[in-house]
Homo-oligomer: A and B are copies of this chain.
Amino acid sequence: MKVITGGVTAAKGFEAASTAAGIKYEGRKDMALIVSRREAVSAGTFTSNVVKAAPVKWDMRLVAEEDCARAIVVNAGIANACTGEKGMEYCQKTAKAVENTLGIPANQVLVASTGVIGMQLPMEKLKAGIAAMVPELDSRIESGREAACAIMTTDTKYKETAVEFEVEGTMVTLGGMCKGSGMIHPNMCTMLSFVTTDLAISKELLQEALREDVKDTYNMISVDGDTSTNDTVLLLANGMAGNTKITEKDENYQKFVEALRVVNTALAKKMAGDGEGATALFETKVLNADTKEHAKMLAKSVICSSLTKAAIYGHDANWGRILCALGYSGVAFEPEKIELFFESKSGKIQIYKDGIATDYSEEEATKILSEEEVTVLVDMKMGEAEAAAWGCDLTHEYVTINADYRS
């Protein structure tokens, strides 16, 4: 497997376009369109929030009922959540606009929205946006990147990644883009992620691979503990690589699962590191837990702790807060037996052992915690299970952004 440049247009047969439709933002692109030249099988995972945005409901139905999908229309600025009947109509109208301009049946057009909750979409602007994008569709890397930029809200960086891997001599490409900065606590996170591949695979296995993968990737990140109404991951596979179609959980399926893990982990970490106001990606790795489930609960409890996140922002080795967060995770353990370490590209130090602080250097700890990616290692000494979770620091800028996001 090899990481390559690119995103949603990396895989064969996928094209993208983007435009400034003026939905809410001024002077920037705010719509993207992804199209597969051939019919693709689709898989999706969606927010567990009881309050589901209209596009989530639209996509859930299409992914469940339709054999294939060919297009995804995305807008930033307005989430089309809590918009009642009208919101659902707008999904239908958007899909119909693609049908009218591209000839792709409306029931093969997925839609996704991100932005403020409760406002209605300006439908005429959306239609004009689609009309503007259709002639611009192409498979260049740049078109994928511009699409990744167009779907940003409070994101400060576009997020895409792609890999190549071989299936019985055939080169397969898998790439994706995502956005997500606030209201990020996926179960599924507003997190939108779009992944495309030219692999030939059955719809059932595509869905199963995605469903299993999100548990260890997107569902292990958190910016603020708020699970959005719009979280969506869509995965399209159009078969244009030319491999023999994967229909069983054989070694070829495992290769795809590995590639998917690499792509989704990379995208998930990009979202956590670009959390609203964040200055650092904050990773917690739990080692030697008794079960995988417990390892995940422990890791996620630490990256979700407001106090720990504020300490990371201050480059303060306040390990007591980490121990505290492990303690209320819901997992039983003996605090005297575990060990804690800080790690970053500046080095690694042990900070806690045998129930008390080690004799570590505060200066060294602060240096380690001043990098853009910092890791807490937790050795539970109970078994062999491990897990990682990704968050970010809690900053003044997070408060500034969210105290007045709507205006």
B324–A227 touching, CB < 8 Å? yes
Residues 383-407 of A at the B interface (beta carbon under 8 Å): 394-396, 398-407
Determine the chain B residues whose CB is within 8 A of the CB of A403 once the complex forms: 310-311, 313-314, 316, 395
A335 within 8 A of B: yes
- Interface flag for A206 (CB, 8 Å): no
Report the separation of the CA atoms of residues A117 and B351 in the bound assembly, to the nearest whole angstrom.
Answer: 13
A51 interfacial contact with B, CB 8 Å: yes
Kindly specify which of A144-152, A242-250, A326-334 makes contact with the partner chain: A326-334
> Are A314 and B404 touching (Cβ within 8 A)?
yes
Chain B residue nearest in CB terms to A116: B320
A183 on interface, CB distance cutoff 8 Å: yes
Q: Does A4 contact B (CB under 8 A)?
A: no
Within 8 A of B (CB), among A24-64: 48-52
Please, how many angstroms separate the alpha-carbon atoms of A39 and B104 in the complex? 83
A305 surroundings in chain B (CB, below 8 A) = 225-226
Contact between B327 and A118, CB atoms less than 8 A apart: no
A356 on the interface (CB 8 Å rule)?
A: yes
A318 to B183, CA, bound (A): 13
Asked if A122 CB lies within 8 Å of chain B CBs, one says no
A50 CA / B323 CA spacing, docked (Å): 9
Tell me the minimal C-beta distance from A287 to chain B in angstroms: 18
Q: Are A332 and B118 in contact (CB under 8 A)?
A: no
A306 contacts partner chain B, Cβ-Cβ < 8 Å: yes
Is residue A319 contacting chain B, with contact meaning CB distance below 8 A? yes
* Minimum CB distance partner of A79 in chain B: B320
Q: Tell me the count of chain A residues lying within 8 A, CB to CB, of chain B.
A: 68
Complex-state Cα separation, A355 to B118, whole angstroms: 9
Q: What are the residues of chain B within 8 A of A229 when measuring CB–CB?
A: 320, 323-324, 327
- A residues 353-404 near B (Cβ < 8 Å) are 354-357, 394-396, 398-404
Q: Is the CB of B50 within 8 A of A333?
A: yes
Q: How far is the CA of A118 from the CA of B187 in the complex (A)?
A: 34
Contact A321 B117 (CB under 8 A): yes
CA distance A327 to B185 in the complex (A): 13
With A and B bound together, what is the CA distance between A319 and B82 in angstroms? 10
Q: Are B226 and A307 touching (Cβ within 8 A)?
A: yes
Task: Check: A219 CB closer than 8 A to any chain B CB.
Answer: no
| Interface check A347, CB cutoff 8 A | no
Q: Which residue of B lies closest to A230 (CB)?
A: B324
- Distance of A41 Cα from B312 Cα, bound (Å): 44
Judge whether A65 is part of the interface by a CB distance below 8 angstroms. no
Q: Are B310 and A399 in contact, with the CB atoms below 8 A?
A: yes
A79 CB contacts on chain B under 8 angstroms: 320
Closest residue on chain B to residue A401 by CB atoms: B310
Contact status of A406 and B82, CB under 8 A, knowing A326-B51, A328-B227: no
In the A-B complex, the 5 residue pairs with the closest CB atoms: A117-B320, A314-B403, A51-B327, A310-B402, A227-B328
Q: List, sorted by A's number, 22 A–B pairs whose CB atoms are closer than 8 Å.
A: A49-B328, A50-B331, A50-B333, A51-B327, A51-B335, A52-B327, A84-B336, A117-B323, A118-B320, A118-B357, A182-B307, A185-B328, A225-B225, A226-B305, A226-B306, A226-B307, A227-B327, A310-B401, A310-B402, A311-B405, A314-B402, A316-B407
